[in-house]
Amino acid sequence: MTPAFQSTHSLSLPTAWYALYPLWQGAEADVQRGLPHSQLSPAWQMLLLGDGSPTRHLQLLTGEQTEVDVIDMSLVGNDLDGAPEVIQVVPGPRLRRQVWLRTPSGQRLAYATSWWEASHVDEYLQNRSLPIWANLTRLRTELYRDVQGIHYGHSEALELAFEQAGPFWGRHYLFWHHGQPITLIYEVFSPYLQTYLGATNGDRFPAQPNLKQ
C-alpha cells in the first residue's frame, strides 16, 4: 500500500487520507497469533490487536473524555481510495470520514479514517461529531470488530499532527453488524501513548518489508 497523503500544507482540510508508508505490515494471521514481545510490548498489543473500543481504551488510559475533530467527510464513490484491499467488501458508493481523537486540552492521541456505505452512514453516525463508539453505544448496536491487519511505518503528516517522531503503529479492521460489513476503519496511534502504555519496543522491530495485507 502506498501513502495517499500528498501535501503537508493543510492538516485541517485534507484532500486525501494519511496512510502510513510501511516498513512492515502484518496480516490477519499475525493479528491472531500476536507479535513477539520484543517487537511490540504486551500493553500495546492489547490496544492494537484487541477487539475492544479504542475510544473507550483512550478514555481509561488518560482519565479524560476522548473528543473527536472531524476533518473530512468525502464521497469517494466506488473508488478503492488507496485503502486496504478489504475495502471491497464494504458496499459502494462509499463515504470516507477522517478524524483526530484527542483529549479536551487538544493532545492528539490517534488518527482514524473510515469508509462507509454512503446510503447507510446516517443510520450509524447520527451525531457525526461523536466518536463511532459513542454513536453505536447510543444505538445499542451489536458489533463485531474484525482486526484484519497491523501496520508499522512513517508519515510526515502525522509527525506534524502528533508532534511526535515516527515510525507509528496502526491497524485496520472491519465492523460487522448482522453478518454484514458496515465500515472499514484504519487507525494510527500517537507515540504520546507511551506515557501510559510504556515503550512499544518498536525500535527492536525488524524493519524488513513484509507487505502482505
Mean pLDDT, contiguous 10-residue spans, the chain (213 residues): 35 72 88 88 91 84 89 89 93 90 93 87 59 51 76 95 94 84 92 93 53 38
Which cell numbers hold the place of 163? Answer: 508532534
The rounded distance, in Å, linking the Cα atoms of 110 and 180 is 26
The rounded distance, in Å, linking the Cα atoms of 175 and 143 is 6
The reported pTM is 0.81
Helix, strand or coil, per DSSP, at residue 166: coil
Question: From edge to edge, which strands make up the β-sheet containing 21-26?
Answer: 21-26, 144-154, 168-177, 180-189, 108-117, 94-102, 67-77
Q: Which three cell numbers stand for residue 168?
A: 507509528
Tell me the CA distances in angstroms from 114 to 26, 51, 56, 81, one per residue in order: 19, 16, 18, 11
Q: Which CATH architecture has domain 36-204?
A: 3-Layer(aba) Sandwich (3.40)
The CA distance from 104 to 113, in Å, is 20
The 8-class DSSP code of residue 105 comes to: T
